[in-house]
Amino acid sequence: MASLWRYLLAGLGLAALLVGILAVVYLTAPQSAQTVGPDVSRTKKTDNGLYMASFVPERGVVRHGELESWLLTLKTKTGASVERAAIAISGGMPQHNHGLPTSPQVTDYLGEGRYRIEGLKFTMSGWWQLRFAISSGAGSDTVLFNVVL
Amino acid sequence: MKRLFCFLALTVAVILVGCGKPDFSDAEKKTIASLALNTLPALKPDTTNRFADVPAAAALGSTLFFDLGMSRDGTVSCSTCHKIDRQFQDDLPQAVGVGRTNRRTMALAGVARDPWFFWDGRRDSLWSQAITPLENPLEQAGNRTAYAHYIKTRFGERYERIFGPLPDFSGMPLNASPLGNDAERAAWNAMSETQRDAINRVFANIGKAIAAFERSIEPVQTRFDRFALDLATGAEPKDDAVFTREEILGLKLFIGKANCVSCHNGPRFTDNSFHNTGVPPVADLPPDRGRIDAVAQVEADPFNCFGAYRDGDVGACGELRFMVKDAPQLIRAYKTPSLRGAATRPPYMHAGQFSSLDEVVAHYAKAAPSVEGISEIHPLELSDRERAALVAFLKTLSE
């Protein structure tokens, strides 16, 4: 009889050890696999290196589901402001087969290479892309910004 | 020995209780909190309708909403399809007014928060929406001058107290409209520009009164909201705020693997946008291409935000100004409906294509291609248990 209890205790002991090992494994494992997201920098060189572009929300914060305006600032390689550029905007959500829910447009030139872009709307969380085709005296170039909400 | 058994029994009990507790990651908790009704902001003023928050206008609007006289033959009102005791919808696959229409009646809770109206967004304000069925031959089937005459006869004093003097109707035809039958269109064309403008103004004001009433129709708190509030505050859920394991699984799927929350987001469970999700057409209805055909209609509408009947300044017209006009994504794209209350109002989709939530979930899992345009949804591997869990969760938005 006594030996039966001994086996039972040994079994419990082993089970406890297993639970302990599992606990260590689970507790030390990372919460979720860290996937590498898209480049979300707000300032970057355009694809052919003609301009430095920066793209920021005019009010500083991105609001979900509301029309908002952003500022696109364009400088040449030498740091001069780009004036009178023609800018075409497109974009969408690469993971959802759809383009932008609105047609944002340049509505104002604010000086010092800053262009106001109105009519942006981010209707869902996730990975958005905004492409700008820029054309000025310095030449034509494109740039893509990623916005992750 | 007894002690050992006690310890084991306690351990088992602790494990079992632990399993029943919702276990959400911080990201999941953040998403759940964003869906709760307490995050719904206060209703913004509608500057395009200066009567939007005038109580007398809302009162007149409510009278008109339920008035059968607001139709050609005195048998149909807004409330015929938007039934007050049925979440302001009619449980039919396609609405029936004077005739059978091509689309499902939309529920109205929170409608004043929409940027676009109808399933395809062919109107851009609540007040311009409200007057559209009045002249649709399948809905209320009336005409513009007849409505203006009717308002004067039945509600003249109430109207003038809110909107100012009615125009002089002498010499104006009893039945005339740019959208009516041949005789009505001819009568409309025979009217002077001033007369037409005067009638249009009365017509727009009818819409503004009805819109003022509809602003009071707001979503109500549900079991989900009580659950979400307790989760956010860390309070112990009580009574019906306790979710079953199935409902918790459904919620996790909704905001995770099933991707429902991509479009059904925010406290109204809608992104207010248009999507092609491959919903099949109905065999005996006319061709329906959704949003792509609505763009021209809203641009041509004399009552749109750019038109002469808008109050306030043009700054309120951002949605129309920055509207997407010709992208392929608009083909067979329809508005994301709110899911609040959806479980108790089958059938589903823009023409009532699916008779149960099980069918809806099966459609999204299968993700069949669209008959025209490109569906945005991808196939999902969902077990029977997971499908049932999604439906169980959706029901918490109706209780």
- Is B317 annotated as contributing to ligand binding? no
A124:B271 CB<8 A: yes
Task: Give the pLDDT of chain B (399 residues) as one tens digit per residue.
Answer: 555 555 555 454 444 444 456 789 999 999 999 999 999 999 999 999 999 999 999 999 999 999 999 999 999 999 999 999 999 999 999 999 999 999 999 999 999 999 999 999 999 999 999 999 999 999 999 999 999 999 999 999 999 999 999 999 999 999 999 999 999 999 999 999 999 999 999 999 999 999 999 999 999 999 999 999 999 999 999 999 999 999 999 999 999 999 999 999 999 999 999 999 999 999 999 999 999 999 999 999 999 999 999 999 999 999 999 999 988 999 999 999 999 999 999 999 999 999 999 999 999 999 999 999 999 999 999 999 999 999 999 999 998
Are both A54 and A109 inside the same structural domain? yes
Q: Is residue A36 part of a domain?
A: no
Are both A9 and A50 inside the same structural domain? no
Residues of B with CB below 8 A from A99's CB?
A: 324, 327, 329
A103:B324 CB<8 A: yes
Residues of B with CB below 8 A from A102's CB?
A: 319, 322-324
Residue in A119, A123, A125 nearest the CB of B321: A119
Mutation pick from B322, B326, B378 vs chain A, by most beta carbons of A within 10 Å, is B322
- Is B82 annotated as contributing to ligand binding? yes
Rounded CA separation B235/B224 (Å)? 14
Q: Is residue A37 part of a domain?
A: no
Q: What is the token pair recorded at A89? A: 């905007």
Residue B322 identity (one-letter amino acid): F
Can you give the pTM of this predicted structure? 0.89
Are both A48 and A86 inside the same structural domain? yes
B322:A104 CB<8 A: yes
Residues of A with CB under 8 A from a CB of B: 31-32, 64-65, 67, 96-105, 118-119, 121, 123-126
Q: What's the burial of B293, exposed, middle or buried (CB within 10 Å: 0-12/13-18/19+)?
A: middle
For chain B, domain boundaries: 26-40+221-290+332-396, 55-215
Mutation pick from A96, A98, A118 vs chain B, by most beta carbons of B within 10 Å, is A98
Are both A65 and A8 inside the same structural domain? no
Q: Which residue of chain A has the CA closest to B321?
A: A119
Q: How many residues appear in chain B?
A: 399
Mutation pick from A70, A96, A122, A149 vs chain B, by most beta carbons of B within 10 Å, is A96
Ramachandran assignment for B118, one of left (phi > 0), alpha (psi -120 to 50 degrees), beta (any other): left
What homologous superfamily is domain B55-215 in, according to CATH?
Answer: Cytochrome c-like domain (1.10.760.10)
CA nearest to A121, candidates A51, A63, A67, A43: A67
Residues of B with CB below 8 A from A121's CB?
A: 322
Q: What are the φ/ψ torsions at residue B181 (nearest 5 degrees)?
A: -75, 180
Contact (Cβ atoms closer than 8 angstroms) between residue A89 and residue A131: yes
Residues of B with CB under 8 A from a CB of A: 25, 31, 261-263, 265-266, 271-275, 318-319, 321-325, 327, 329, 374-376
B324:A99 CB<8 A: yes
Residue B4 identity (one-letter amino acid): L
What homologous superfamily is domain B26-40+221-290+332-396 in, according to CATH?
Answer: Cytochrome c-like domain (1.10.760.10)
- Assembly ipTM: 0.85
Q: Is residue A97 part of a domain?
A: yes
A118:B327 CB<8 A: no
Q: Is residue A38 part of a domain?
A: no
Q: Is residue A79 part of a domain?
A: yes
Are both A12 and A48 inside the same structural domain? no
Q: Which residue of chain B has the CA closest to A63?
A: B266
Question: For chain A, what is the domain count?
Answer: 2
CATH number at residue A121: 2.60.40.10
Task: Please give the residue range of the domain that contains residue A128.
Answer: 43-148
Distances (CA, A) of B268 to A49, B75, B350: 44, 33, 18
Q: What is the token pair recorded at B273? A: 């946008």
A97:B376 CB<8 A: yes
